[in-house]
Amino acid sequence: MTKLAYLDCQTGIAGDMCLGALVGAGVPLEYLSEKLKGLGIDQEYQLRVESVHRNGQLATKVHVELLKLAEHHHHGDRHHEPEHTHEHSEAIASKTQHQKLHHHASVHAPTRHLPEIERLITAAGLPPRVMEWSLAVFRKLAQAEGAVHGIAPEKVHFHEVGATDAIVDIVGTCLGLDWLGIDRLYCSALPTGGGTVHAAHGRLPVPVPAVLKLWESRQVPVYSNGIDRELVTPTGAALVVTLATRFGPPPAMILQQVGNGAGSLQLPIPNILRLWIGQELETQQVGQLESYPESSTSQTSNLLETISVLETQIDDLNPQAIGYVFERLFDVGAVDVFTQAISMKKSRPGILLTVICPPETIPACEAVLFRETTTLGIRRLTQQRAILQREIQQVQTKYGEIRIKVAWSEGTSIPLDNKGMHLEQPDAQQHSAEGSTHKTIINVQPEYEDCAELAKANKLSWREVHQLALQTWYYQHGQQQSNISSTG
């Protein structure tokens, strides 16, 4: 069963808010502290958690208290990224308290560049996907900062105090998601905020340039909630831009748990990041739409999701390896893989290998391509695709059970049959006038593996079993085959 998480960011997102939401959802602070020790920077900070109220609502606040600050750093807010202060970050209560905690304040802090941070993460002994996620988030952040300042990502420098809590926020968030067993992360549209924030070279407009660059890279949906403060920090933006499967409304899920992570500011609305955790709806639950009254009022739409496309051209790989590469890519989460014959330099024949994958699987897919092929470089593209909603149903034939993939589009209203499916009827226009909705079946396809297995077991052709499965589904749902688009 697939475990989903949804970040509800009505007042934005920052790294410490993510930690608070995860701890509020049950991730032990002791676990985070122990795993983070592997980074070798635990002498620079200490973690502390407390319960706080935001506009009367209870939330969890995680403090990353720095034990060493440079003289030139601002003390009003925590640093999450190079050069910036962030409104969601921890505010120190008083100068006296600050001086007691940061007893090395007079020491000038060195800088950390991306390669050093990558070495810390790689050597930390983290769970495999935590390491992959953390590296990907920091690279994305460095790419955005580098693009803003016109330098290579590897040259972006992180002030040590900024790097310390950025590392804790990013790696800690990835640890928490892994501990909860999250398979896919989704995120709401993000509020833009407004006003200005102080930076090393003056004041910057909100959203700060790095956040805008991160949003641009994933075409993130944004809006104004009327609050002129910095609501989304570069750390928060980098986390969701890198890890979220898509942005928008929550996915269909059975909600099991909610974690509330507190921001530092008191805002007109509760300054809380809400982490929803649940299970993806099972096939039979999605099919029985009459169990969910809200489905009868949903608007006509297909799904729009963000996907990543990886491409590489190869002319010196043994063709026997291609099949194995396909298998490994699918194993790590690729949605589709295909090749095209091309002509390369010096008229050499080659292939264009294309991988379509969720954004969060980019590091794993690229690792397979570099390890299993002869490529020296991979192109990345981010695209959006419209997809039909779909579900797996089952039909019972005289030879055995066969899974059927059913895809549909929502439209004008017509009633459900006793199988939970909406059927085409002549009076659909009348129902539409009443303002309800329905599902129009677009495509029906039996699963290849099921048909092949039954064909072999019963000494039949695959086409016979495939056709029988289609006929059985049409009969059970009262539809004529001519009314359904099918590519069989």
Average pLDDT over residues 474-487: 57
More confident residue, 171 or 424: 171
Q: Residue 456 pLDDT > 50, yes or no?
A: yes
Bridge pairing between strands 272-280 and 253-262: antiparallel
Tell me: the pLDDT tens digits for 231-248? Answer: 999 999 999 999 999 998
Map residue 66 onto helix, strand or coil.
strand
Rounded CA separation 443/181 (Å): 33
Average pLDDT over residues 432-446: 68
Q: Residue 473 pLDDT > 50, yes or no?
A: yes
Helices (H), 102-185: 114-122, 128-149, 160-179
- Of the candidates 258, 203, 192, which has an alpha carbon nearest to the alpha carbon of residue 226? 192
- Of the candidates 185, 134, 194, which has an alpha carbon nearest to the alpha carbon of residue 8? 185
- Of the candidates 243, 216, 185, 280, which has an alpha carbon nearest to the alpha carbon of residue 364? 243
Average pLDDT over residues 300-312: 75
Average pLDDT over residues 316-329: 92
Average pLDDT over residues 212-219: 93
Give the number of other CB atoms < 10 A from CB of residue 260.
Answer: 23
Give the number of other CB atoms < 10 A from CB of residue 390.
Answer: 15
Tell me: the pLDDT tens digits for 379-421? Answer: 998 887 888 888 889 999 999 999 999 888 765 333 434 443 4
pLDDT for res 74: 37
pLDDT for res 121: 94
Average pLDDT over residues 128-136: 94
Bridge pairing between strands 379-387 and 57-66: unpaired
Asked whether the beta carbons of 409 and 439 are under 8 A apart, the reply is: yes
Tell me: the pLDDT tens digits for 93-104? Answer: 333 333 333 333
Tell me: the pLDDT tens digits for 133-187? Answer: 999 999 999 999 888 888 888 888 765 445 888 999 999 999 999 999 999 999 9
Residue-range domains of the chain with CATH: 3-279 (no CATH), 303-387 (3.30.70.1380), 388-483 (no CATH)
Output the six-digit token pair for 373. Answer: 């092929």
